[in-house]
Chain A
Amino acid sequence: MSITDVEQGQSTKYKLQVIDCDIHPAMTSWTEVHPYLEKRWIEHLSVYGSHLRHAFSEALSHPRMSPDAARVDAYPEEGGPPGSSLKLMQKQHLDPNGVEVGMLIPLRWNPGSQRNLDFGVALTRAMNTWQVERWVKQDSRLRASVLVAQEDTQGSVAEIDARGGDPNFTQILILPRTDEPIGRRRYWPIFEAAVRNNLPITIHVGGTGGHASTAGGWSSYYMEEHHMVAQAMQAVVTSLIFEGVFERFPKLRVVIMEGGLGWIPSLCGRMDKHWNRLRSEVPHVKRPPSEYVRDHVWFTTQPMEETGSAATLLDLFDRIGWDRLLFATDYPHWDYDDPRTSFKANLTDAQRHQLLYANARKFYGFDV
């Protein structure tokens, strides 16, 4: 069943108004970015491929359970992978779901994880221009993310400053599996540039940093690998706080994207408890860690937690803070959240509007 089918069966009482914070655009073919990439790097890619810290140059180490990790109904009639057709994206998602703003999160080529730093920076530059030319200019509802190759701090800062004044870009995108935990000082110039350009840092699941998936070694199954992305996000939040990033950059705002929600209150309680006991080690962390989360970190809602009861879900939202939640669908991926059905609770229209639309509008400062 596609989304358009669902739409036909819905009552029209509540008019959907959505800001979707996580849409994955794809390329019909790799040559789409050639116009924005120097000849040297086009040749480099054709000869050496993507040089990452895992076994396959062009495939994930844990193959997903559906092709392209995509919804089965998201393949464009004209060919190409899911997410590559603007027409289908409009027909299947943007139009019927009342999406007023959709944030693009390109994941192809993983520029931030490229071991060749110059190549990574060149890719980010090309893919940032590609987002604007191929998508934003074709549909004014869409917004681009500033991809950065975070292991090259200087290159990242230059790219952030180059895109900073451009209203087509709403945020800086980094994948969590970095060389070092993201709060460490080598990345601070990126945070400084983010604040200077008034752009939030968005951490979306992914990346190949070379560190084992778990503290106890590499996982065998995708079932495990899919689970641990929530743990990677916990490590991201922990690192940002305990390195003192929010003390140093009080205006920095961070979005944790697609990392799940169930762990947020428990991580906050855990950080507070052990900070209290061990704070002599980290005198630069001045406040209970949960307070930094409350002031600096937002979370996208997909994949929505299925907590077994509506009351438990509402309690979870209460404990995270309703104003910290930004709606996302993850279109066109298999674990897509439908704005109509993904909240398994009876929300009031005001609550629904806050989650689907108002929080993101306020957070990103949209004038739509």
Chain B
Amino acid sequence: MAREQPAEVTDRPMRYAGAIDCDLHPAVPSMRALLPYLDDYWREMVSVRALDRLNLSLTSYPQNAAISCRPDWLPDAGAKPGTSLRAMQEHVLDRYRPRFGILNCLYGAQVFHSEDMAAAFCRATNDWIRDEWLSRDPRLRASIMIPAHNSELAVAEIERRADDFRFVQVLMLVSGEMTLGRRQLWPIYRLAERLELPIGVHAGSAYRYAPTPIGWPSYYVEDYIAQSAAFENQLQSMIAEGVFAKFPRLKVVAIESGLTWLSGYIWRSDKTWKGVRAEVPWVTRAPSEIVRDHVRFTVQPIDASDECEAVMRLVDHMKSDDLFLFSTDYPHWQFDGDAALPPGIPDGLFRKITIENALATYPRLLKADRAMEIAR
């Protein structure tokens, strides 16, 4: 497929040294990589059902679509983008020299309809991430993949990782089996709050429902555009159901949500809340305040043509510079050259976005080094 070449953007990569990259995507090369981490039953099932011949790439990220991998980050022919640690080091870790990079693995494990199958493969994937990524580069951290549609199994998986401080977040897809505020999910949030793990909500769908309330669009690009609507509705769900009233220390990180929808979100949501708050008496503060206290957003993609102005406008509308977290979204193609953040962001805000906001969001980032020393 002919690809558009990225424009030359000049910016210095060392500008990001010491940053925290909150969205890196490692890819499971094939199910064979997970076999060592499956129990006898599931290993047999892989063989009996030929599960290893299934391509579990998500519909939300077609492997060869331009958005799924930046052209100059494409691996050799046939390989799946994101499967090579060496490539990630070359393209991001050694180039931008972040102090930490957080791995968010998007893989079929979390969307199987069978809760048992989802649990087994999430567990195996988390083990694989630990051995093949975390243990091979000390800068890496990871999110815990969970079978979100069964909170009991999800809680068990989070508990299994609780003592490994390199797991810094719980990962859920923005569109799964139920709206994210629903009380069936609260055991996950209760545990995450206790363990100081933010809930990372990543773009993507298990396609249990149509991507839009008006049905199934024809094109992938429409699905991708609709991701921001999914995020809005999930924030609205978590707020309306009272998640943040119940779990006052819980943090949510919207990952790859786009950003510019936030202004419209808080305007509409605050106004609606004023009109209908009698329905949700536990929501005692305006949604915009709740978002400011509890929700953070990774910066890529900045879905505007005037990227720097768009970020500045959002800081103004949101009345906060705490909300945005640096991300490259590697290997997804969201920016060109080294302009992971658009030129023109003032130094103070640049530092908040690249370092301080993430440190305030992920308590485990600071504790990880110490815990590893003790373990040694």
Contacts and interface: CB of A to CB of B under 8 A. Distances in A.
Interface in A81-96: none
B217 A239 contact: yes
A212 interface: yes
A366 interface: no
Contacts of B67: 274, 277-278
B70 to A, nearest CB: 10
A321 B210 CA distance: 32
B217 A221 contact: no
A270 B317 CA distance: 18
A215 B212 contact: yes
Interface in A198-245: 209, 211-224, 226-228, 230-232, 234-236, 238-239, 242-243
B225 A222 contact: no
Contacts of B265: 262
Contacts of A180: 214-216
Contact of B222 (A242, A277, A334): A242
Contacts of B360: none
B264 to A, nearest CB: 3
A209 B271 contact: no
B174 interface: yes
B272 A216 contact: no
Nearest to B234: A216
Given A215-B233, A220-B179, A334-B275, A232 B222 contact: no
B213 A209 contact: yes
A218 B179 contact: yes
Interface string B266-283: 011111110111111001
A65 B222 contact: no
B226 interface: yes
Contacts, number: 242
Given A274-B67, A278-B65, A215 B333 contact: no
B182 A220 contact: yes
Contacts of B182: 217, 220
Nearest to A304: B271
B294 to A, nearest CB: 17
Contacts of B271: 303, 305-306
Contact of B209 (A211, A236, A261): A211
A266 B264 contact: yes
B218 interface: yes
A231 B237 CA distance: 14
B213 A227 contact: no
B66 interface: yes
B303 A269 contact: yes
Most chain A CB within a 10 A radius of its CB, from B224, B233, B271, B333: B233
A262 B270 CA distance: 12
B127 interface: no
B269 A227 contact: yes
Given A215-B229, A266-B261, A280-B1, A224 B267 contact: no
Given A235-B226, A281-B219, A306 B279 contact: no
A199 to B, nearest CB: 21
Interface string A253-265: 0000000111101
Interface residues of B, number: 71
A269 B264 CA distance: 13
Interface in B183-234: 205, 208-222, 224-226, 228-230, 232-234
Task: Give the interface size class of chain A.
Answer: 35 or more
A181 B261 contact: no
A308 interface: yes
Contacts of B211: 215
A269 B260 contact: yes
A45 interface: no
Given A215-B175, A270-B261, A228 B217 contact: no
Contacts of A219: 179, 233, 236-237, 240
A330 B135 CA distance: 60
B233 A213 contact: yes
B180 interface: yes
B301 interface: yes
Given A212-B210, A235-B229, A278-B221, A263 B261 contact: yes
Most chain B CB within a 10 A radius of its CB, from A213, A224, A272, A273: A224
Contacts of A272: 305
B213 A211 contact: yes
B218 A184 contact: yes
Contact of B268 (A238, A262, A274): A262
B177 interface: yes
Contacts of B225: 234, 238, 267, 270-271, 274
Contacts of B280: 221, 223
Contacts of B229: 214-215, 228, 231, 234-235
Given A65-B278, A223-B240, A214 B215 contact: no
B217 A181 contact: yes
A77 to B, nearest CB: 26
Contacts of B219: 242, 281-282
A273 B305 contact: yes
B375 to A, nearest CB: 38
B224 A278 contact: yes
A234 to B, nearest CB: 6
Most chain B CB within a 10 A radius of its CB, from A261, A267, A278, A334: A278
Interface in B231-251: 232-234, 236-237, 240-241
Contacts of B54: none
B176 interface: yes
Contacts of A212: 209-210, 213
A271 B258 CA distance: 11
26 contacts: A65-B275, A214-B175, A215-B229, A215-B233, A216-B176, A216-B178, A216-B179, A216-B205, A216-B230, A217-B176, A218-B179, A223-B277, A224-B179, A227-B232, A227-B236, A231-B226, A235-B213, A238-B212, A261-B264, A262-B267, A263-B268, A272-B305, A273-B303, A274-B67, A281-B220, A306-B267
Given A266-B303, A270-B260, A305-B264, 9 more contacts: A181-B214, A214-B209, A216-B237, A220-B240, A227-B232, A231-B213, A266-B261, A269-B303, A274-B301
Interface of B: 1-2, 65-67, 174-182, 205, 208-222, 224-226, 228-230, 232-234, 236-237, 240-241, 258, 260-261, 263-265, 267-273, 275-280, 283, 301, 303-305, 310, 316-317, 333
